């Protein structure tokens, strides 16, 4: 019986390298894996997912108009697993399509992404992923203070910011993974002050 997974973590937690490890394990056993990534993420090469340490793989692209269920249903040979990187950029409709792939095509789906943006609000796809996934797993990383990092703090010229567009594609140059307490201290978001 196929399952629907959402594996999330702060930036730098190793989500993409975990996805590539899972893909490798399937391929090593002679199984077919399809990897999707968001078309909007153009930090490296379009049509590739790339880890911060340089390991990469080809990937199919999705944008808000992609009907993933229809695309998979049309395939002559169904994949043994579907992996989705940058899953926070999925639409609610696409999350439901992925759950339909699990439920009606019996193909496991594992999504990797961020839970919240730099304002500590769900991304469009993250809330529905939390609602629909059979299993939710956190991939952990640590803040400079040593606590678990859960927030992706946006940085401009080394200074934390709390305003701006919800989506700004970037890496270590634009974001820093911090714990909630450090986020509040560094952005001056302390209740009652």
In order of start, what are the domains of the chain with their CATH numbers? 4-140 (3.40.50.300)
Q: With 70 as the cut, is the pLDDT of residue 13 above it?
A: yes
Between CA 112 and CA 22 the distance in angstroms is 11
Active-site positions?
A: 86
Q: What is the rounded CA–CA span in Å between residue 142 and residue 12? A: 9
* pTM across the whole model: 0.89
Q: Is the pLDDT of residue 53 over 70?
A: yes
Q: Is 103 a residue whose pLDDT tops 70?
A: yes
**Inter-CA distances, 138 with 18, 29, 65, 113, Å:** 12, 26, 28, 10
Q: What is the full DSSP assignment across 44-99?
A: S-TTEEE-TTS-EEE-EEE-TT--HHHHHHH-SS--SEEEESSGGG--HHHHHHHH
Categorize the per-residue pLDDT at 29 as very low, low, confident or very high, splitting at 50, 70 and 90.
very high
């Amino acid at each position: 019986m196929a399952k629907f997974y959402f594996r999330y973590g702060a930036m730098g937690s190793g989500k993409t390298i975990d996805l590539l490890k899972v893909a490798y394990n399937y391929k090593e056993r002679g199984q077919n894996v399809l990897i999707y990534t968001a078309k909007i993420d153009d930090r490296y090469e379009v049509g590739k997912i790339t880890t911060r340490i340089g390991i990469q793989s080809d990937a199919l692209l999705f944008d808000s108009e992609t009907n993933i269920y229809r695309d998979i249903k049309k395939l002559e040979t169904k994949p043994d697993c579907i992996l989705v990187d940058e899953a926070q950029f999925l639409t609610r409709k696409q999350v439901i399509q992925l759950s339909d792939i699990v439920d009606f095509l019996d193909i496991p789906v594992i999504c990797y992404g961020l839970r919240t943006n730099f304002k500590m609000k769900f991304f469009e796809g993250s809330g529905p992923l939390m609602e629909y996934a059979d299993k939710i797993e956190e991939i952990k990383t640590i803040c400079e203070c040593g606590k678990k990092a859960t927030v992706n703090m946006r940085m401009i010229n080394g200074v934390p910011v709390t305003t701006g567009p919800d989506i700004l594609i970037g890496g270590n140059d634009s974001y820093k993974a911090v714990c909630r307490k450090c986020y509040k201290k560094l952005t001056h978001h302390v209740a009652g002050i």
